[in-house]
Structure 1
Amino acid sequence: ATAASAAGATSASSTAADATGDGARRPKLVGVTACPTGIAHTFMAADALVAAAKRLGADLQIEPQGSGTVTPLDPAVIAEADAVIFAVDVDVRDQGRFAGKPVVRGPVKRGVDAPDAMVKEALAAAKDPNAARVAGTAGAAGAAAGSTAEKQGFGSSLKRWLLTGVSYMIPFVAGGGLLLALGFLLSGYEIAGNAATVLTDYSLFNLPPEGLPYFLGAAAFQIGNLSMGFLVAALAGYIAYAIADRPGIAPGFVAGAVAVFMGAGFIGGLVGGLLAGFAAYWIGKPDVPRWLRGLMPVVIIPLLASIFASGLLVLVLGGPIAALTVALTDFLNGLSGTGAIVLGVILGLMMCIDLGGPVNKVAYSFAVAGLSAGSISDNPAPLMIMAAVMGAGMVPPLAMALASTVLYRKGFSQVERSNGTAAWLLGASFISEGAIPFAAADPLRVIPASMVGGAVTGAISMAAGVTSQAPHGGIFVFFAIGNLGMWALAIVAGTVVSAFVLVLLKKFVRRGAAAGADASAEAAEAGSVVGQRSPVAA
């Protein structure tokens, strides 16, 4: 699996007989794993599913659709597959390749936590003529089976659409935010109002009086500021893409830009993306004459969907959403004392409840949405929220590292202690997924312990008024943190509390079933494999 993963796909194969033991053809499965960030969960689920398939006597080839280059599954492999597994929180890219195949779909976290169950369900679906199938134009086999296409609830679809938008938005935020922080480091906070002027009035051959570092800081800040300017448009564009495929991208981006113009911000981007996506989907749904089909995706759909979604924002929805955004901003700016602490506790709990999953992404997206509008002097609340969110997100992996390598080594397996060593760096870098191998092995003790520590960190950070100009990076963006000492204290306090709570739970709260212990050992072992091959651990 390690060699295959280097090429962007992973597979399971064995010389053993199939599950029936009669030497007949082994069941063949294919699948896709994908999480909003395309980093840790994507590859952990792939490895866990591959290992489960091998245990159950099936061949499984997985296409991890991560944030880097994706190597698609061979069409011949897909054609031979008996069923498909989608362990995804976002839309599957080029899902039409799997049309007509029996499908089992679940969140990517289920692929990490319950891979055996997903593989068993896929094997059962392969033998069931009435099993749900991947929507689209089915191939011969799918058509012959006469099965109904896969149907998903509106709630599940909505979550997938929104997380798809967030997954494409995050690179703009991470890259742009770090460039902003670098600009502040090189040129000071006053560069926020001077960067554009510096770049238009000076050049490398005509440096400003402040010198080269100041000029480079202005360049970094301006590039980062422009990158952050795509945040809402990218969010809206890829929400619409998740709903209507490529025809939704242009109207979605336009709706996002209009939301920014109207002052509707992040909320306006969400609404605009949904409107554009629905409009593009319904406009493209009717069957049109052959001569018109070529114009539909490149002219007709983008034009009409843009008029509908952006027109609604300009004429009807933009003003009220902008007023709501202003009211929310004023409310956050007015928080102090107990109110700020409560918000910090809530954000800390959300960051730690699913370790990089949907709830975590909601809190993180809420923080980065206001980052570009934050100001140390005039509007510090968004920067305080960003600091609390980043600090709380660092706690789970750091706490797992402290508990497994320092406080209670004998309470963890050798595999977990190895993961704990790697978790020091992952936690310091604000990669919450570093705690997933521990949570997969022992969720009922790890998750509550993490949430307690995250709440402590969020509360202390908000109470102390800590600010962050950077959306990511952990301790490596220390220069972008206001009141660095209190931020470090908040993280240390949350880490220590989490670690001690986990140790106490391990000592005094026992798991009842031996099967649970076996599953824990398997999950921890799978986590170790991922730690060796996922881009995060690398």
Structure 2
Amino acid sequence: MKYVAITACPTGIAHTYMAAEALEQAAQDAGEELKVETQGSAGSTPLSDEDIRSADAVIFAVDVGVRDRERFAGKPIVEAPVKQAINDAAGLLQRAAEAARQPVADAGDAAAETAEPALASKVTAGAGFGNRLRQWLMTGVSYMIPFVAAGGLLIALSFALGGYQITDAPPVTEQFDAASLVSWAALANQIGSAAFEFLVPVLAGFIAFAIADRPAIAPGFVGGAIAVTVGAGFLGGLVAGLLAGAVIAGLKTVKVPRGIAGIMPVVVLPLLGTLVVGALMFVVVGKPIALAMTALTDWLTGLSGANAALLGALLGAMIAFDMGGPINKVAYTFAVGGLSIGSTTSLEIMAAVMAAGMVPPLALALASAVRGRLFTPAERANGRTAWLLGASFITEGAIPFAAADPLRIIPSTVIGAATTGALSMSFGATLRAPHGGIFVTPLVGNPLPYLAAIVIGVVVSAAAVLVAKQIGRPAGEPAAEQTAERTAAVAA
């Protein structure tokens, strides 16, 4: 049989491509033909019309909306979350085969039902409220991350070149010397600071977009900018985005004369939505949220000793729990938000989160290298790749291991990451870069204790994995042999 597939996750980075690889491998093992279009952050090569026409069924392994979904009108479609494709690609192919044998709705009706906007981060229709809320928030985070990476790394580079006092440099529009390293450091700092000013508006704007499409983008951006103005920060941005989306969604339900329907999404909805959201943010909700943010900032600034270690352990556990999923992103966004505060404790939180995020892939790389017989050949191959992924702060490098054995892998990596987070906070390590992993160690305050915290967490997590892998297995029986026996039993 012939299949085509679309894979897409909210951030468009690791899960998108892991799902594609899993589907391709499952199709190859089954002797089927499958072509995948990865709608990720690196762009995608669209499936050809011929591929779509000749396909017996379509697989959507997505956590967000599918771009140009109308192309697949009239085809049997199977939909599933990205993680299901990673964990059970063979099962998805089986579902697609069953769907191909069922009668398909009229192509015109299917096109009407599956039409989606060109921007593809809209929540999937028909999802429950909890899933929709998660995807709304993840949409905002996914569009915000490029600004975090660009702005944060430029700011970190400026500190490496010019020291922390570079923030006091005069504007480069007034004073810039191309032969001066300090001037270049000031330039990087001011560009990075300008990028950081977009974080909250972008977060709010694309949360609103996920809820109510393009007409909600302007109210969301304006609400996010007002959140920054009144000091409500990231929490204010979240509220502004949800508020803008809700306002526009409500306004879209109002019936209007046909004569003005054409200008509603371009003029009327953005105008009324911006007015309502702006007024609410300035007059009603902005100030209480700003007070809450001030209280949170004061609490963070006052953290020390055991309290700081507990916070580091909690954030480390969150980073490792779903390895790039929503809980991981909550901890990461919380840490990034602290970079704009600039307090010592906020920088310690960023260091703890990044250190903990490196632990799962590094620990599994170490465990698969030390006791390879406990892992399948595919896992040992993934372990070699996980060294670089872990060092680069790409926690998703641990997903192939967790997908194959979640009950053993996830608790083990959570223990190690929590240990690293607690130690990093206790050691007082600081970090101003939002990404980069081990490669931004020169920007770390107290780098040796910071590296020690990572090493200790990796060793703890790897030891926990090796112990867990041997629980419930006959002595001396390799994991690969057990896997083969289980596969044979299932097939029988």
- So what's the TM-score if we normalise by structure 1? 0.81
Corresponding residue to 2:467 among 504, 511, 532: 504
Q: Is the 8 A contact 1:442 1:520 kept in 2?
A: no
1:85 is displaced (CA, Å) by: 3.1
2:282 aligns with 314
The residue type equivalent to 1:389 in the other structure is V
The residue type equivalent to 2:80 in the other structure is G
Q: Is the 8 A contact 1:440 1:520 kept in 2?
A: no
Corresponding residue to 1:487 among 440, 450, 460: 450
Q: 1:442 to 1:296 in 2, by over 3 A?
A: same
The residue type equivalent to 1:201 in the other structure is E
1:451-466 alignment to 2 at 5 Å? 451-466=414-429
Aligned residues: 476
1:4 aligns with none
1:179 aligns with 154
Task: Give the share of equivalent positions with the same residue, in percent.
Answer: 54
Between the aligned partners of 2:99 and 2:373, the Cα distance in structure 1 is 42
Between the aligned partners of 1:99 and 1:62, the Cα distance in structure 2 is 17
2:36 aligns with 62
The residue type equivalent to 2:332 in the other structure is Y
Q: 1:50 to 1:413 in 2, by over 3 A?
A: closer
Once the two structures are superposed, residues 35-79 of structure 1 have per-residue CA deviations (whole angstroms, 9 ceiling, x without a partner) of 233222111101212333455565543321111122233356556
Q: 1:424 to 1:344 in 2, by over 3 A?
A: same
Once the two structures are superposed, residues 393-426 of structure 1 have per-residue CA deviations (whole angstroms, 9 ceiling, x without a partner) of 0001111121122x21333344333322222221
For structure 1, which segment, 407-416 or 471-480, has the greater mean C-alpha deviation from structure 2 after superposition?
A: 407-416
Once the two structures are superposed, residues 207-264 of structure 1 have per-residue CA deviations (whole angstroms, 9 ceiling, x without a partner) of 6xxxx11111101111111111111111111111212222222221111111111111
2:164 aligns with 189
1:383 aligns with 347
The residue type equivalent to 2:110 in the other structure is G
1:124 is displaced (CA, Å) by: 3.7
Corresponding residue to 2:175 among 202, 209, 214: 202
For structure 1, which segment, 116-125 or 258-267, has the greater mean C-alpha deviation from structure 2 after superposition?
A: 116-125
Once the two structures are superposed, residues 190-221 of structure 1 have per-residue CA deviations (whole angstroms, 9 ceiling, x without a partner) of 112x23x141431236x6xxxx1111110111
Q: 1:460 to 1:220 in 2, by over 3 A?
A: same
1:291 is displaced (CA, Å) by: 3.7
Q: Is the 8 A contact 1:90 1:161 kept in 2?
A: no
Residue aligned with 2:7, SS: strand
1:4-403 alignment to 2 at 5 Å? 26=1, 29-55=3-29, 59-75=33-49, 77-78=51-52, 83-98=57-72, 103-127=77-101, 139-140=107-108, 142=110, 151-192=126-167, 194-195=168-169, 197-204=170-177, 212-286=180-254, 288-374=256-342, 379-403=343-367
Q: Is the 8 A contact 1:232 1:256 kept in 2?
A: yes
For structure 1, which segment, 152-161 or 59-68, has the greater mean C-alpha deviation from structure 2 after superposition?
A: 59-68
Between the aligned partners of 1:494 and 1:167, the Cα distance in structure 2 is 28
1:467-478 alignment to 2 at 5 Å? 467-478=430-441
Between the aligned partners of 2:210 and 2:486, the Cα distance in structure 1 is 35
The residue type equivalent to 1:397 in the other structure is P
Unmatched segments (≥5 aa) in structure 2: 114-123
Q: Is the 8 A contact 1:177 1:471 kept in 2?
A: yes
Q: Is the 8 A contact 2:70 2:111 kept in 1?
A: no
1:266 is displaced (CA, Å) by: 0.6
Q: 1:91 to 1:270 in 2, by over 3 A?
A: farther
2:121 aligns with none
Between the aligned partners of 2:371 and 2:6, the Cα distance in structure 1 is 37
Q: Is the 8 A contact 1:478 1:484 kept in 2?
A: yes
Once the two structures are superposed, residues 67-116 of structure 1 have per-residue CA deviations (whole angstroms, 9 ceiling, x without a partner) of 11222333565566565433223333344545676544333212101222
Unmatched segments (≥5 aa) in structure 1: 1-25, 523-538
Q: Is the 8 A contact 2:375 2:480 kept in 1?
A: no
1:457 is displaced (CA, Å) by: 0.0
Q: Is the 8 A contact 1:45 1:111 kept in 2?
A: yes
Q: Is the 8 A contact 1:429 1:475 kept in 2?
A: yes
1:12 aligns with none
1:283 is displaced (CA, Å) by: 2.6
Q: Is the 8 A contact 2:216 2:245 kept in 1?
A: yes
Superposition RMSD on alpha carbons, in Å?
A: 3.0
Between the aligned partners of 1:40 and 1:439, the Cα distance in structure 2 is 14
1:360 is displaced (CA, Å) by: 1.0
2:388 aligns with 425
Once the two structures are superposed, residues 132-165 of structure 1 have per-residue CA deviations (whole angstroms, 9 ceiling, x without a partner) of x9xxxx84263899xxx96211111111111111
Between the aligned partners of 2:258 and 2:139, the Cα distance in structure 1 is 32
Q: 1:77 to 1:150 in 2, by over 3 A?
A: farther
The residue type equivalent to 1:276 in the other structure is A
Between the aligned partners of 2:389 and 2:112, the Cα distance in structure 1 is 49
- So what's the TM-score if we normalise by structure 2? 0.88
Between the aligned partners of 1:521 and 1:380, the Cα distance in structure 2 is 52
Q: 1:521 to 1:428 in 2, by over 3 A?
A: farther
Q: Is the 8 A contact 1:247 1:301 kept in 2?
A: yes
Between the aligned partners of 1:291 and 1:481, the Cα distance in structure 2 is 60
1:525 aligns with none
Between the aligned partners of 1:101 and 1:274, the Cα distance in structure 2 is 35
Residue aligned with 2:368, SS: helix
Between the aligned partners of 2:487 and 2:354, the Cα distance in structure 1 is 30
Between the aligned partners of 1:399 and 1:118, the Cα distance in structure 2 is 30
Q: Is the 8 A contact 2:377 2:480 kept in 1?
A: no
1:288 is displaced (CA, Å) by: 4.3
